[in-house]
Every structure is written in structure tokens, then in C-alpha cells.
Structure 1
Amino acid sequence: MSDRSSHDGLSTLSCKVSGFYPRHITVIWLKNGQNRQQETYSEGILPSGDGTYQTWVTVEIDPKIKAHYSCCLPHESLLEPLSIFWEPNNSLIPVVAGVITAVVLVGVIISVVVWKKKCSRRKRDGYTVAQGK
């Protein structure tokens, strides 16, 4: 299962199923336990090249609307339908990276300001630093 941002602030959830046999399978997207079959898009069922099959089914969602999405896979090779639940990607990595970048940037700005003040103070005191070879 994967998700990616799409147009208009929506997200596309994809449920890829592979390695199943026989060919017939129904992949169902559920929102809070309710079937969303009419809102899904399927690429069809394709051979995998090893005697099994693969398919993927997508659904567009509004990530601002809090709901529980799952991909349900009833198939005759399974004892019971398999359900895979989607967890929103709430990674803190971009937030942490942004905070670290801001802190470093502020540190650099403060260092440059302090350095410039020291340089200008030396010139006003009537002396300059000797040039080295």
C-alpha cells in the first residue's frame, strides 16, 4: 500500500496486490468499514511472468477528512479476506529538518553580524589588523 499527493490537495491511495493465483480477485477499498468500490480505479489483472498475477487499485481521498481506509482482499487462495490498513504518513523528518535548517541559518546570521561589528570596531579604534604573507 502506498500514498501520494495528487491534484487539489487530495491524496491517491494505491493497493498493489501481486503473487496470487488463480487469476480472479476482487480488491475492495473500505472507508470506515464502508465499501468504496464506485470510487476506485483499477488497472486490471495482469500476469506477473511467473504463473501468478498482479493488480493495483487506487482511490482518491481528502487527507484532511479523518477516516480509516483499508484495502480488503478476498481471494480463494486465502482462508479469510486479507485487510491492509492505511496509516497516514505523519513523518516528522521534514519538520525536524526545517527546524534544524532555521536554527543553523539564524546562527550563521548572528555570527556574520558579530564578526562585522568586531571588524568595524577595530577600524574605529585607529588600528587595523596587519596583513599576513
Structure 2
Amino acid sequence: MTEYTWRGPFADADVNVLHAEGFGHPVLADAWGAQLERHSLGWVTAVQSGELVGFVNVAWDGGVHAFLLDTMVRADRRRTGIGRALVETAVAGAQASGCEWLHVDFDDHLRGFYLDECGFTPTGAGLVRLR
């Protein structure tokens, strides 16, 4: 059984491992808790048997726009519905917080997940690479 919690407790080290695995870089020592408390509307944790197996961050503009960032599921638990449930919980959390819009950017290979599985609609957007 997986437990999904809006603003659930987590250890920075666990999110760092998930992030490294999900985004293909070495494990860093980022201070996720402090960063999220300062800049995020909320986040969702997915926990199985006491282990963090999924996570998503919901940043916001302080008003009605929220932004889904860093959706990640442990590799051995992917394609089991955890990602979709993380996003559903994030949507509910953003709605309950009074947001009117939830934005997400994604690479092309994730298009089916976000548009078909999670109910996002395509929009026009722009991007400037800063580094």
C-alpha cells in the first residue's frame, strides 16, 4: 500500500537519491526541506513500508498559479500508478489552497503521462535557456 501525503515529512537525503535517479545526475546534498518551505505551496510524498518511493513539488506565484516540478518515482516502482497518484494529490492540494491554475512543463517522452494520464491540456509556452 502506498500512502500519499500533501506536505508530508521526508528526509533531504531520500529526495536527493530520488532526484539523482530520476534526472540522471550524481546524488547531491541539497537541502530540500528548507528550499520547499521557502518557495513551495506544497509537495506530495509517496511512501511504501516507510520508504519514500515518489515525490513531487508544487511551486507557486503566491497567488492563483501553481507549478508542478520534479515529479519523481523510484525506478523499480514506475508504471504502477504512483506518478499519477502523486499528481492527483498535488492537484487536490493546489485546489484546496485556492489556486486556479496548475502548470507543468515536460519533455516530449512524458507527454502521454501528463496529457493522457493526468488530465493536463496542451498550451503554448516559451522557454529561455539560461545556462
TM-score range, shorter chain: under 0.3
Q: Give the structure with the larger helix fraction.
A: 2
TM-score with structure 1 setting the length: 0.21
Q: Give the structure with the larger strand fraction.
A: 1
* Greater Cα radius of gyration, structure 1 or 2: 1
